[in-house]
Amino acid sequence: MKDERTRRQFIRDVSLLSSSAVLGASMPWLKAMAGETQAGNGASDRVRLGFVGVGDRGRALLLNCQQLENVEIAAVCDNYEPHYQRAVELTNGKAKAFYDYRKMLDEADKLDAVIIATPLHEHAHITIDFLNSGIHVFCEKSMARTLEDSKAMTLTANRTGKILQIGHQRMFNPAYLKAYERAASGEIGQITQIRAYWHRNNDWRRPVPKGRPELERKINWRMYDEYSAGLMTELASHQIQVANWFLGETPTRVMGSGSICFWKDGREVYDNVACVYDYPKGVKVIYDSVISNRKYGLEEQIMGHLGTIEPEVRKIYSENPPPAPGFLQLINNLEKDIFETIPIGGASWVPETAVQYKGEYLVEDYQYDDTLLEMEGFVLAVRNGRPYPGLLREGYNATVAVLLGLQAMQENRIIEWPEEYAWKKNTELV
């Protein structure tokens, strides 16, 4: 990273976090990363990256990788002319540019790894082709549009021994890592429910160039069932990944309901979804997402019998908050006695509104960009030629869970996690 301060701070934090027994055991990638950050960074360790899909996300990932030391952006590929041109400009014409990723495959010996940020339905076959050519792959979330494709990607990664990392950056976010550590230490007690939501207020549409209606499906691929599972694969997958990770389990079954409720503009994917995921031992994850109101934004409320964690706002709340200092309580009481109106008859019922405790920060305000940290992690893994244990499992399980959620909504029935898609130790899906 060019920002040495960020880099040093990150390495220090990763080393500190990974030395924690809890984190080291349950997040092997962190431990591996801490070890590998000490590894050499010499010229021979130069990592040559290719990019397939330089749209919104691909561009952001490319800019991130340009900040990393000893990384060469050797090739870029996009089959949409404006984005192809943009990729060429971003790399000052230094990277070899392609319209067709298969041409890039022909020059695979000039690459160590590729970063795939194409639309969802284009993840699987591109990933599999590169893995089969001996190239490590970072593929954006979600893994694939179908369960079959997600499994095929996983099996190919296992068979080839190449790295396949899925873009769930929260596993590299210091606030989430700290949150995980505190949850695993028992501080919030037994987690019985996670309530997660992502609310936005926009139609999610992108403008299509005038006179080019044939580009509608390419540009607005998120709106079409063939290419995307809508809110589930685009937003929920991050949060269900967090839920799986914190619970250390995958759901046993899911029920759900979805509708096109507000944006009736010809889209095929739901703009309003709600799911309940059942986990072992009666634990529930309740998920909803809308794109017609943004008041509550996004959050994962991880609720235990002793406390709650809201990692998006970096906060932890105890069920029994520490009392305010005595003197402040005294002043508060005096203030109440003087200024509050006294009811004549006592209320028979007081509304049980939310507890007004402001909680405690999990980590100080920080400058981290978790996507940048995730890319740094991927490049380190490529340099060492080894995948981080556990990471692919997280990406796979999150994708299966959200695709099952969509299936439950579309078929209007409860869907059990199919045995053939279970990630088991010592099976083909290890």
Binding positions for ligand NAD, rule: CB under 6 A: 52-58, 77-80, 83, 101, 117-120, 122, 140-141, 167, 169, 234
Beta bridge partner(s), residue 97: 76
How many Å apart are CA 271 and CA 268, to the nearest integer?
9
How many Å apart are CA 232 and CA 222, to the nearest integer?
11
What letter would DSSP give residue 222? Answer: G
Nearest to ligand NAD of 7, 170 (CB atom) = 170
Which of another protein, ligand NAD, none does residue 14 bind (CB under 5 to 8 Å by kind)? none
- Residue 338 CB, shortest distance to another protein, in Å, is 14
Nearest to another protein of 93, 326 (CB atom) = 326
- Residue 231 CB, shortest distance to another protein, in Å, is 47
Give the closest residue to 246 by CA, choosing from 297, 310, 203.
310
Which of another protein, ligand NAD, none does residue 323 bind (CB under 5 to 8 Å by kind)? another protein
- Residue 357 CB, shortest distance to another protein, in Å, is 16
Nearest to ligand NAD of 80, 357 (CB atom) = 80
- Residue 334 CB, shortest distance to another protein, in Å, is 10
Residue 322: phi and psi, rounded to 5, are -60, 140
Nearest to another protein of 321, 390 (CB atom) = 321
Beta bridge partner(s), residue 285: 194, 277
∠ CA(147), CA(118), CA(199), 5° rounding?
A: 75
412: left (phi over 0), alpha (psi -120 to 50) or beta: left
Q: How far is CA 170 from CA 32, 108, 179, 351, 368, in A?
A: 17, 30, 11, 36, 11
Of residues 312-371, those binding another protein (CB under 8 A): 323, 325-331
User: Which amino acid, one-letter code, is at 145?
Assistant: R
Which of ligand NAD, another protein, none does residue 374 bind (CB under 5 to 8 Å by kind)? none
Sheet holding 164-166, edge to edge: 96-98, 71-77, 47-52, 113-116, 136-139, 164-166
Give the number of residues in contact with another protein, rule: CB under 8 A.
8
Which of another protein, ligand NAD, none does residue 86 bind (CB under 5 to 8 Å by kind)? none
Residues 6+ apart with CB under 8 A from 127: 116, 137, 139, 153, 156, 164
From residue 366 to residue 405, the character string flagging contacts with another protein as x (rule: CB under 8 A) and all else as - is ----------------------------------------
Nearest to ligand NAD of 80, 368 (CB atom) = 80
Cα distance from N-terminal residue to C-terminal residue, the chain: 32
Which of another protein, ligand NAD, none does residue 117 bind (CB under 5 to 8 Å by kind)? ligand NAD
- Residue 263 CB, shortest distance to ligand NAD, in Å, is 18
- Are 386 and 165 in contact by the 8 Å Cβ rule? The answer is no
- Residue 201 CB, shortest distance to ligand NAD, in Å, is 18
Which of ligand NAD, another protein, none does residue 72 bind (CB under 5 to 8 Å by kind)? none
Nearest to another protein of 63, 331 (CB atom) = 331
- Are 397 and 142 in contact by the 8 Å Cβ rule? The answer is no
- Residue 320 CB, shortest distance to another protein, in Å, is 14
Neighbouring C-beta atoms of residue 199, cutoff 10 Å? 17
- Residue 323 CB, shortest distance to another protein, in Å, is 6
Interface positions with another protein (CB under 8 A): 323, 325-331
